[in-house]
Structure 1
């Protein structure tokens, strides 16, 4: 924490905030003294834009997938998440050290806004309250991220001094989460809905990408889910499902089109991380086949994720009557599978407009993308979702979606089931709607199965995994469900092979890496070593 609090003055501000007609641009930064600042509304907007810079970045967004059983990072990329996933990390790990610093930097930036905005003379009241609401949302989001990884954390909403940062203790995680929840409720009236009309304090077209009322409600629902507060989650979801008063949201007709630059800001997006202009991300260089992105493929899907996609008839691949053929494993699968993952025989149009067939089996010719090649995916699979062919020099300006309407439907279905209220009506609103949009048409997949709560829980969780794969939510899901110690204590598996020098399981699937997840130790990350060196009052989490 000490790292992120060294400067007491505004750390990053800009002379003028430049908003494009499409994106919420990041500020052009230069240093200002505190005395010379806070003179105009533009000063406040610039300080707020600096808060947006610390919402998240692509290394966290995509790297989180490899903190779950969905993905694997080959090597030390994505801030050494592979050592966390393997259970071989300590309090000096890069990812957890930088996560702490990154979030507390964000919190300080937000506290600068909330503490100083009253200094702007004669500021329009509606704009002022909107800026405050956005800053409070971003701060609440940062605290939620910290608590979800670390549990108890230092908590403050003022501008503490360096000396205070060296002595502050951690606050109980439940108290911090209560604050997050209260903030997300309190700010709703000051946030416009997503119609972008510019009327009555609403956002204009140039302000797309800013926090809306729907984002505050959806994040509140996610916090309720994290706390297993099912009725609270239901209440929040119903504000978005059964009413347009808080924003107009709907599923897109085409699943793949959600994740394209041509369809950004569509009706399904509720909260996303802004890219474009001068801010881009190059993560696709690391997850696409190396014949497409011309780099080693280091962030890749697992066989366990592939196996969880159901068949077109709604059955899991291991269920009787599923029709699954191990010798033809990719036929008649959930359409979202091919929209998310490239496998042996998949085709992709590369950046030059050439259609490539991706070959991943050992002995393929050419072998560039097969498990034989040192730079290829060691599992035999590649992520396809978020592939941006419009990227210049592979650097994408595609926004990264944190919460979309499909997630709201899935939270609603899960919470209803936990209260034994998932009936045909709720099913049709949620799971059926998602599957129909994906392209299912078999009654076995679409009709309410009418099974017991435990069986429905399995269906809903599997649906959540398929719908939201590669969107950074699985790692937190397996932790809040308390199944991480089960699914993360299994080997990372790749495709089934015969012969060769590969290490394989009893069924012939490649074993890429062994993983360990110790309960309860690994359910919380340790407080970083550097922070405890600066502040002996921070203490440490259990077993660390």
Structure 2
């Protein structure tokens, strides 16, 4: 995507996938201020298209889960493999530069929509309610712009930054702004817009509220959540090499604010499995979800090979399975490695012998020579298939009657912020059990709150753990709780503790007596420390000579 898209020119917004069921995107092939801002409907369409740039990582052939150690992509032609096979480069950059299109649209709206009163429409019956809705748009758009900048900084570090609508020449001469400066901007924007956004759109007496509220719009919780996540990243080693403790304190306070907000607004832990399925956007701990719409894409791309139309896709690794602790603290039985594990394993990962999915007439056979195992082309290379974020009742066969079902991507949820808080307060106070007047819940207690959710009930981490032991178990807990939610890929980078050199697999063979043998194997991956940050796309540097390259990515 060209950086010149920041510039002011023809406003060209294409309708992309829907944020939610009721936010209808309008496809514009033009136009100028007079066209877009002379009608409430066109203005709403313009804002809804800014929403359309929101990201999601539902399990697909390009999911980040298979670009780290959560999963291995079974489909050998997937471009996600370039992250780990040595083909990643500035010429093959896996570019996220397209978010500048969303930023450019946001800047355009914030400039051109200032002081509009739609005077010609003042006698319309719903004028006041439409104006109330319009006056909120500026805060929604500022928050979306902040989110898009976060996505860019998370990937690239220092990036070009502007809140203005630039000419093409200006856009192609802009230098990179420091990550710290942009992260501060994001946090400040979130703090400023949060009070201007509703806690919920239900009951607001205007065109987007009432008894049938328009869902999918950012709210106050979204702003607080983005601020908290941003400050956690700012405090992490990738952006905080000197380990400024005050940055960790700021992160802990921001994440505590999210937890307090959730307590005040009945956002609470429910069942872990409520986090996916057709109604997951209604789950009790959801702060904000991107409504993707009706699709069977995740199921087609991830149901087990051996089922009609299934592609296997993101196959959980043995590395991930190892993160699921035994309930009683024991060592897993080598001949029965899944019994007695953290309940989230069974909810997240399909193992040999599972009846998965519901539309599969046979139990899974992931062993060598099995119905769903190697050497069948594209069968799981790890011994496992994915459950999380998939709807097991979907029939993807040619005669299937269920079709695509609603899917929503959870951008922010309560569980993340207990873990974020635990990490920040641990780094700030120095031990897992420490508290003070600002932080009355210890890092250990915060982690245990997550482990104690309704359908998990894992034993709490004990008092008196060494810092090394707590940090090891914290990272394991984060890997388990947030599996396949697009955190692991980025956590590895922000921690800057070493990359992913390999993943473990499980090779299962069936014995003549019907029992199974389990043998671990390892697959080497390509990692270089330059991969903590993405390369600046070569095509952008050719257009803009002021764009420096991230260290190690020079061709």
**Common fold, TM-score beyond 0.5?**
yes
| Structure 2 Cα separation of the partners of residues 81 and 283 of structure 1 | 16
* Post-superposition offset of 1:104: 0.9
Contact 1:73 1:82 in 2 (8 A): yes
Q: CA 1:7/1:240 → structure 2, altered by over 3 Å: closer, same or farther?
A: closer
Q: How is 1:259-298 mapped onto 2 (pairs within 5 angstroms)?
A: 259-276=276-293, 280=295, 282-292=297-307, 294-298=309-313
| Structure 2 Cα separation of the partners of residues 168 and 116 of structure 1 | 22
Pick aligned residue for 1:27 from 18, 25, 28: 25
Pick aligned residue for 1:116 from 112, 115, 120: 112
Pick aligned residue for 1:106 from 102, 123, 131: 102
Contact 2:228 2:254 in 1 (8 A): yes
| Structure 2 Cα separation of the partners of residues 265 and 240 of structure 1 | 18
Q: CA 1:465/1:203 → structure 2, altered by over 3 Å: closer, same or farther?
A: farther
| Structure 1 Cα separation of the partners of residues 449 and 188 of structure 2 | 32
Pick aligned residue for 2:379 from 376, 381, 388: 376
What secondary structure sits across from 1:305 in the alignment?
helix
What secondary structure sits across from 1:397 in the alignment?
strand
Instruction: Name the structure 2 match of 1:171.
Output: 177
After superposing the two structures, state which structure 1 stretch, 460-469 or 160-169, moved more. 160-169
What secondary structure sits across from 1:138 in the alignment?
helix
Instruction: Name the structure 2 match of 1:414.
Output: 423
Contact 1:312 1:440 in 2 (8 A): no
Pair 1:329-2:337 in alignment = yes
After superposing the two structures, state which structure 1 stretch, 227-236 or 301-310, moved more. 227-236
Pair 1:225-2:232 in alignment = yes
TM-score (ref. length: structure 1): 0.85
Instruction: Name the structure 2 match of 1:436.
Output: 452
Instruction: Name the structure 2 match of 1:73.
Output: 73
| Structure 2 Cα separation of the partners of residues 375 and 183 of structure 1 | 46
* Post-superposition offset of 1:248: 3.3
Instruction: Name the structure 1 match of 2:123.
Output: none
Stretches of structure 1 that go unaligned for 5 or more consecutive residues are 316-321, 501-506
| Structure 2 Cα separation of the partners of residues 63 and 7 of structure 1 | 33
Instruction: Name the structure 2 match of 1:131.
Output: 137
| Structure 1 Cα separation of the partners of residues 21 and 253 of structure 2 | 31
Pick aligned residue for 2:407 from 391, 394, 398: 398
Contact 2:12 2:31 in 1 (8 A): no
Instruction: Name the structure 1 match of 2:90.
Output: 91
1:289-345 Cα offsets, whole Å, 9 max, x none, are 1244623223221110111111112x3xxxxxx141111111100110111111111
| Structure 2 Cα separation of the partners of residues 214 and 391 of structure 1 | 32
Q: CA 1:311/1:244 → structure 2, altered by over 3 Å: closer, same or farther?
A: closer
What secondary structure sits across from 2:406 in the alignment?
coil
Pick aligned residue for 1:475 from 485, 489, 500: 489
What secondary structure sits across from 2:72 in the alignment?
strand
What is the root-mean-square deviation in Å for CA atoms of aligned residues?
A: 3.1
1:453-501 Cα offsets, whole Å, 9 max, x none, are 222222222111101101111111111111242xx112x321134699x
Q: CA 1:484/1:265 → structure 2, altered by over 3 Å: closer, same or farther?
A: farther
1:121-143 Cα offsets, whole Å, 9 max, x none, are 24866434421111111111111
* Post-superposition offset of 1:192: 0.7
* Post-superposition offset of 1:195: 6.4
Contact 2:26 2:42 in 1 (8 A): no
What secondary structure sits across from 2:36 in the alignment?
coil
Contact 2:358 2:393 in 1 (8 A): no
Instruction: Name the structure 2 match of 1:528.
Output: 537
Q: CA 1:268/1:118 → structure 2, altered by over 3 Å: closer, same or farther?
A: same
If each structure's helix is expressed as a fraction of its own residues, which one has the higher value? 1
| Structure 2 Cα separation of the partners of residues 509 and 8 of structure 1 | 57
1:160-212 Cα offsets, whole Å, 9 max, x none, are 12222222221122111111111111111111113623259995543221101
| Structure 1 Cα separation of the partners of residues 182 and 17 of structure 2 | 34
Pick aligned residue for 1:453 from 451, 454, 467: 467
| Structure 1 Cα separation of the partners of residues 432 and 165 of structure 2 | 46
| Structure 2 Cα separation of the partners of residues 93 and 323 of structure 1 | 43
Pair 1:489-2:485 in alignment = no
Instruction: Name the structure 1 match of 2:12.
Output: 11
Stretches of structure 2 that go unaligned for 5 or more consecutive residues are 119-126, 236-246, 397-402, 435-440, 512-517
1:203-230 Cα offsets, whole Å, 9 max, x none, are 5543221101111111111111111232
Pair 1:162-2:168 in alignment = yes
1:383-431 Cα offsets, whole Å, 9 max, x none, are 1001124658564431011221111111112212212364395468533
Pair 1:2-2:9 in alignment = no
Name segments (4+ residues, structure 1) moved above 6 Å. Answer: 17-20, 59-62
| Structure 2 Cα separation of the partners of residues 208 and 6 of structure 1 | 31
| Structure 1 Cα separation of the partners of residues 179 and 39 of structure 2 | 37
| Structure 2 Cα separation of the partners of residues 148 and 372 of structure 1 | 39
Contact 1:86 1:516 in 2 (8 A): yes
What secondary structure sits across from 1:275 in the alignment?
strand
Instruction: Name the structure 1 match of 2:267.
Output: 249
| Structure 1 Cα separation of the partners of residues 365 and 291 of structure 2 | 34
